[in-house]
Amino acid sequence: MQFRSLLRIAAPLALAAALTSPAFATDSKTMEASGPAAKAGVYVDDAAITAKVKAALLSEKDISALDVKVSTKEGVVTLSGKVDKPEAGVRALQVASAVEGVKSVQSELQVGTN
In sequence order, which ranges of the chain are alpha helices (DSSP H)? 2-19, 36-58, 86-97
pLDDT of amino acid 4: 54
Q: What is the mean pLDDT of residues 55-84?
A: 93
Q: Has residue 106 been placed in a domain?
A: yes
b/e burial code for range 18-55 (CB count within 10 A of at least 16 → b):
eeeeeeeeeeeeeeebeeeebeeeeeeebeebbebbbe
pLDDT band at 104 (very low <50, low <70, confident <90, very high): very high
Is residue 80 assigned to a domain?
A: yes
Within a domain: 5: no
Any domain includes 66: yes
Q: What is the pLDDT averaged over residues 92-112?
A: 95
Whether 19 shows a pLDDT value over 80: the answer reads no
- Whether residue 7 is contained in a domain is answered as no
Task: Say if 26 falls within a structural domain.
Answer: no
Start-to-end CA distance of the chain, whole Å, equals: 75
| Structural domain total, the chain | 1
Model pLDDT, residue 62: 86
Q: Identify the domain containing residue 82 by its residue range.
A: 36-114
The pLDDT tens digits for 38-67 are 555 555 699 999 999 999 999 999 898 889
CATH number of the domain that 114 lies in?
Answer: 3.30.1340.30
Domain-located, residue 17: no
